[in-house]
């Protein structure tokens, strides 16, 4: 799916090895975006909330893996929107302007333009979009308001260890390579991600998906049916058909239940 490549693209570089799991980034995001608290319960882990939610644009994923030096090794991974250059969510969205690209390359959203169709859910390879109590899309927007004013994203500014860095995407990648990281996850995936990760271990150890791809139904929709959707009933029927094929009748209801 050919997209215009964003010039002067900005990105967040996540270095999980430097993360201490303090979750200051979660708090900073909530604070800047004025997101309400979420009632959760103890699931036997410090990962809280258990997953992304309409009021949790980023979470630290906690996992334990076997280690030679210690009984277990604790891994921390910042999970949030990846701001894909080839963004499945944008490709499928039938509401003009509901999801849009900022000058810095972020995939942002307009609450008022979202029509609550939830097509973006299954178009996202990273399971990111969530929906608020009004049924409107809600996710990390790379602090579009802050970076547009030449400030750092709130989570990056707060991170005490440098596990999150923000800047020119090419410069961040070059610096991470010079530091000797084995893998820069997201350098080329989906046209290049706007959230990139520097790993010394295999990304799979941290639960990263290998070779993320956009579902073929989304590409078909983007290429052939979406143009119709902008013109009346034919497009509405096409959208309904694709919604059924891509998502099925009940899946979005299940996701809403999981968020409670």
Which residues bind to ligand SF4, rule: CB under 6 A?
19-25, 28-29, 32-33, 57-58, 60, 76, 78, 80-84, 87-89, 107, 124, 126, 128-129, 139-143, 153-155, 158-161, 163-164
State the minimum distance, in angstroms, from the CB of residue 16 to ligand SF4: 8
Q: Which is nearer to ligand SF4, 37 or 232 (CB)?
A: 37
State the minimum distance, in angstroms, from the CB of residue 194 to ligand SF4: 8
State the minimum distance, in angstroms, from the CB of residue 237 to ligand SF4: 25
Q: Which is nearer to ligand SF4, 58 or 229 (CB)?
A: 58
Tell the burial category of 110 from Cβ atoms under 10 Å away from its Cβ (0-12, 13-18, 19+): middle
Cα 199 to Cα 257: distance, rounded to the nearest angstrom: 34
Closest by CA position to 131, among listed 3, 7, 254: 254
State the minimum distance, in angstroms, from the CB of residue 225 to ligand SF4: 18
State the minimum distance, in angstroms, from the CB of residue 27 to ligand SF4: 9
Q: Which is nearer to ligand SF4, 2 or 233 (CB)?
A: 2
SS (HEC) of 200-233? CCCHHHHCCCCCCCCCHHHHHHHHHHHHHHCCCH
Q: What number of other Cβ atoms are within 10 A of residue 237's Cβ?
A: 13
Q: Which is nearer to ligand SF4, 21 or 235 (CB)?
A: 21
Q: Which is nearer to ligand SF4, 212 or 239 (CB)?
A: 212
Cα 167 to Cα 11: distance, rounded to the nearest angstrom: 6
Cα 80 to Cα 90: distance, rounded to the nearest angstrom: 16
């Amino acid at each position: 799916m050919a997209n215009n490549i964003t010039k002067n693209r900005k990105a967040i570089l996540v270095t999980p090895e430097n993360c201490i799991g303090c979750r200051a980034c979660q708090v900073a995001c909530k604070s800047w975006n004025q997101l309400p608290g979420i009632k959760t319960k103890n699931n036997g882990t410090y990962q809280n909330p258990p997953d992304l939610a309409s009021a949790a644009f980023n979470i630290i994923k906690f996992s334990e893996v076997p280690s030679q030096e210690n009984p277990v090794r604790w891994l921390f991974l910042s999970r949030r929107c990846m701001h894909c250059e080839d963004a499945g969510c944008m490709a499928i969205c039938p509401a003009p302007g509901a999801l849009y690209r900022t000058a810095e390359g972020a995939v942002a959203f307009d609450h008022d333009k979202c029509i609550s169709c939830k097509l973006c859910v299954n178009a996202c390879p990273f399971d990111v979009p969530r929906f608020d109590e009004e049924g409107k899309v809600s996710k990390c927007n790379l602090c579009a308001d802050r970076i547009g004013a030449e400030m750092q994203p709130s989570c990056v500014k707060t991170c005490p260890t440098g596990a999150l860095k923000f800047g020119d995407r090419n410069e961040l990648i070059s610096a991470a390579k010079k530091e000797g990281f084995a893998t820069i996850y997201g350098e080329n995936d989906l046209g290049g991600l706007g959230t990139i990760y520097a790993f010394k271990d295999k990304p799979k150890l941290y639960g990263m998906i290998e070779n993320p791809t956009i579902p073929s139904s989304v590409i078909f929709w983007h290429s052939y049916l979406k143009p119709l959707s902008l013109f009346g009933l034919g497009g509405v029927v096409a959208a309904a058909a694709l919604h059924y094929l891509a998502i099925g009748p009940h899946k979005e209801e299940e996701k809403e239940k999981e968020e409670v």
